[in-house]
Amino acid sequence: MNFIDTLKLRSKLFFIFSILFISLLLIGIMGTININSMKKRFDALYFGSFVPVNELNTILQTYHGNLVNTIYKAKDMKISLDQIRSEIKLSVETIDNEWKNYESHFKRDEEIVYVDYVASEIQNTNNFFLSIYKALDNGQDIRNLSLEQLERKVTYINNVIKKLLTYEIDMAKHERKNFLLIYDSSLYKIGTFLLIIIFGVMVVSFYVLKSIQSDQSALEAATKKLKLANKRLENASYTDSLTSLHNRRYFNMVYEREIKRAKRDCRYITFMMLDIDYFKQFNDTYGHIRGDAALKSVANVFKGLLKRPGDFAFRLGGEEFGILLTDTSEINSTTIAANICSAVRELKIEHKGSKIDKFLTISIGVSCCIADSALDEEVLISKADEMLYSAKESGRNRYNITTHVSVATTHKLEVESA
């Protein structure tokens, strides 16, 4: 797909997403407006009527249930003076608090005059009871109190509050009716608008997606080809074409990465340098075609023995190979090196040009240590190279290993020739 086609596809995608965004935005705005309107009605319904009804009922109950009963009990001397005073004070405070709560709610202009009137009557009634409280403080006898006056006061305030209570209940019914009408209307509007938007989006989406589908098919085909080409290119850039082992370029990348990882976790890291013994003489004797076949056979030995994801085998050049082992101890590294030497000889590739054996053999230099922050990456390689040189000097067809990368202490283990 060329650049122009890509721009066309982007334009189509941008168009459909713009339609969806605008549609959802409009739905959100409309829904918000209607929900806010319903919320106001809901507040007016519950907080404008139901809650005030409870507050007014509490005031009525306090007058009748608490104050009047307290006065009657006091006349009959059924409770103590302290209890009388405490009940009167607590009841008056309750009435004041409930009335303040009631007044704090939203009030329409036409309600304010009567609310102010009720407030003054409640204050007068409370003053009446507070005067009884003060009289008790001054030592007057509660039995001299006129029950007729008490009943008149309470009956009057009861009628005043009940009138307000009836009004609040009627308003609650009215607000509920309005709320349901607006709620049903809002649902209808939102539903209708939503159906129109969905239908429009579906029609536009159908034609846009149909166009995109053809472009997408071409894009997927091109992408698949590109991935395959990139995969082949990547494999070619990191793989030795003759042996299919990793090449030196991949070695440089992996080696640095695994050294850093081993340093971070303080784990074992092992590097082996491997060299086929007298390989130049092998080529001179049998020719380069047989030489290439021998290199492939040796590479297959590495592949057969190194199975872990953390084991890496490389062809570094010519007959020289490298093996990187992660999280492998000295003992295990020694075992792997010994197995490689044995397996290469067990191939029984004839080598008349060898000075040490009638079959093809390999020499290995091994450096193994626990990585820390002081580990020098180059020293690990150079020590493996030193061990390889030492193995060749010691007669070849063997491996030498060191676990010290600063002052090498060489552990030489020879592989006996069969």
The sheet with strand 398-402 has its strands ordered as 311-317, 320-326, 268-276, 362-370, 398-402, 410-414
Predicted confidence at residue 414, as pLDDT, reads 40
Kindly report the number of other CB atoms within 10 A of residue 11's CB atom.
10
CB atoms within 10 A of CB 85: 17
Residue 416 pLDDT: 37
Average pLDDT over residues 242-259: 92
Among 1.10.3720.10, 3.40.50.1820, 3.40.50.720, 1.20.120.1730, what is the CATH number of 3-208? 1.20.120.1730
- Band of the pLDDT at 153, cuts 50, 70, 90? confident
- In whole angstroms, what separates CA 220 from the centre of its chain? 31
Contact 42, 179 (CB under 8 A): yes
Do 299 and 315 contact (CB within 8 A), yes or no? yes
Q: Which residue has the higher pLDDT, 338 or 200?
A: 338
Query: What pLDDT score does 44 carry?
Result: 55
Percent of the chain having pLDDT more than 90? 35
Q: Which of residues 235 and 352 earns the better pLDDT score?
A: 352
Give the tens place of pLDDT for each residue, 208-233: 667 766 766 777 777 788 787 677 66
Averaged pLDDT score across all residues of the chain: 82
Boundaries of every domain in the chain = 3-208, 248-414
Average pLDDT over residues 237-252: 90
Q: What is the mean pLDDT of residues 341-367?
A: 95
**pLDDT of 47 strictly over 70:** no
CATH number of 248-414: 3.30.1360.30, 3.30.70.270, 3.40.50.150, 3.40.50.620? Answer: 3.30.70.270
For 4-14, write each residue's pLDDT tens digit.
Answer: 555 566 676 66
Number of H helices, E strands in the chain: 11, 6
Q: Are 327 and 268 in contact (CB under 8 A)?
A: yes
* pLDDT over threshold 80, residue 201: no
At residue 339, does pLDDT exceed 50? yes
pLDDT of residue 40: 61
pLDDT at residue number 273: 97
- Predicted pLDDT at 289: 95
Identify the weakest region by mean pLDDT among 94-103, 133-142, 316-325, 357-366.
133-142
